[in-house]
Amino acid sequence: MPDPTPGVPVRVDPRGPRFAAVLTTLVLLLVLLTGSGVLLAAQAVVFALGAVAGLRWSPYGWLYRRLVRPRLGPPRELEDERPPRFAQAVGLGFAVVGAAGYLSGVTWLGIAASAAALAAAFLNAAFGYCLGCELYLLAVRSRARLSNG
């Protein structure tokens, strides 16, 4: 789905991605406890929807908007959707690698990829530190430096 206004970044309530990180943390803990490549593949679909279509199309974004947001006051500020979408793409990469590991019998790969994704999701859920968002900002700054000099 395209953004509503081309060229204008979508702004989101920053509590939504943090809520999604809590759910992602729980799912990834369950993946590590069960070794379920199928559950990790389902999480990959959630990541893909958020990365490709936008956070509003993610199931966790939908849950936030329908169940949580109405019970909260308005956010103090909105933030650019691009860094959390990039973070979803990074999570997608780890989930795809992990699901492939679990489903092909390379369990150590499934565990390693799931644990890495869990660490990032937990940082966001517990501390509000989005590692993928920081990677996005680093990439933007690096690209700007390269194009300017």
The pLDDT tens digits of the residues spanning 19-73 come to 999 999 999 999 999 999 999 999 999 999 999 999 999 999 999 999 999 999 9
Show contacts of 126-134: CB within 8 Å, 24+ apart. 128/18, 130/17, 130/21, 130/83, 130/84, 130/87, 131/87, 131/90, 132/83, 132/84, 132/86, 132/87, 132/88, 132/89, 132/90, 132/91, 133/83, 133/84, 133/86, 133/87, 134/83
The pLDDT tens digits of the residues spanning 91-146 come to 999 999 999 999 999 999 999 999 999 999 999 999 999 999 999 999 999 988 88
Taking phi over 0 as left and psi of -120 to 50 as alpha, with beta for the rest, 106 belongs to beta
Higher pLDDT, 148 or 39: 39
Which residue from 2, 99, 88, 96 is spatially nearest to 47, judged by alpha carbons?
88
- Can you give the pLDDT at residue 3? 53
Q: Does the pTM of the predicted model rise above 0.85? A: yes
